[in-house]
Amino acid sequence: MKGSLIKHLRFVHHVSIVTCEFECDICHLKILSKPREDPCFAVDSNPIVIDVKQILQCSSCPASFSSALGLQNHLKAHKKAEVLSQLPALTIPPSRRRKRAKKARPTASPSSDEDNMHISEVSQVLDDILNCDPSSEGVSLLSDAYAQIVVKAIQIVFPSSAPAPVTTNRAINIEDPQECQKLYRRNRRAIREIKDAAGERCMLPPEAV
């Protein structure tokens, strides 16, 4: 109230209030500092008691309320509890543990003996090629060895793949010196072909040859 009056005087009547004085409504004397120190306020020091004439009683329980809103909220709580009590019981099924699928075990890797056998075959072929003199024959031998190594590696890594095409050995012409030299440098097969005995080996010592 005071703030509204001061604002009205300032903006409408252009009057600025510098100081304010308080006056007692009972004795009409000026209040100097504190309103509580005025003798008119000290006459009746008893606390003010509010007499509640209307008491609203709950029909379901002994609770009582002084306002209709409080009684209405209380009745809503009773109704909510009644509805919850009439609901069917919620059955929670027991938890089931899911069985984890077993991981597929890796297939057994080839033994070290098989690895050594494959490596020794490749090493023998490469050693024979390295012992040859540099020529076009060495290049052809190297390309053949490379093709065989690739096919062998595919068969080892992918055993379930389609089988490699069957290659038939072509006939060997022992009259061709170049072919005989090629076979001799590779695996000394030419000696057995020359002797016409597939099951016999040359009995000559390496020094004599």
DSSP conformation letters of 128-155:
HHHHSPSSHHHHHHHHHHHHHHHHHHHH
Cα–Cα distance between 164 and 166 in angstroms, integer?
A: 6
Q: pLDDT (tens digit, 9 = 90+) per residue, 34-71?
A: 777 777 776 555 555 555 556 888 888 888 888 888 88
Cα–Cα distance between 39 and 42 in angstroms, integer?
A: 5
**Sign of the C-alpha dihedral, residues 194, 200, 206, 207?**
negative
* Strand, helix or coil for residue 7: helix
Taking the CA atoms of residue 143, residue 148, residue 152 and residue 158 in that order, the dihedral angle to the nearest 10 degrees is: 70
- Can you list the positions of beta strands (E) in the chain? 22-23, 30-31, 56-57, 64-65
Residue 208 has pLDDT above 90, yes or no: no
Mean pLDDT over 13-29 rounds to 80
* C-beta of residue 141 within 8 angstroms of C-beta of residue 186: yes
**Residue carrying structure tokens 């010592």:** 205
> Would you state the pLDDT for residue 118?
65
* Strand, helix or coil for residue 65: strand
Residue 209 has pLDDT above 70, yes or no: no
Q: pLDDT (tens digit, 9 = 90+) per residue, 110-162?
A: 555 666 666 777 777 777 777 777 777 777 777 787 788 888 778 777 766 55
> Would you state the pLDDT for residue 155?
77
> Would you state the pLDDT for residue 49?
52
* Distance, C-alpha 173 to centroid of its chain: 67
Q: What is the pTM of this model?
A: 0.23
**Residue carrying structure tokens 């009644």:** 82
> Would you state the pLDDT for residue 14?
86
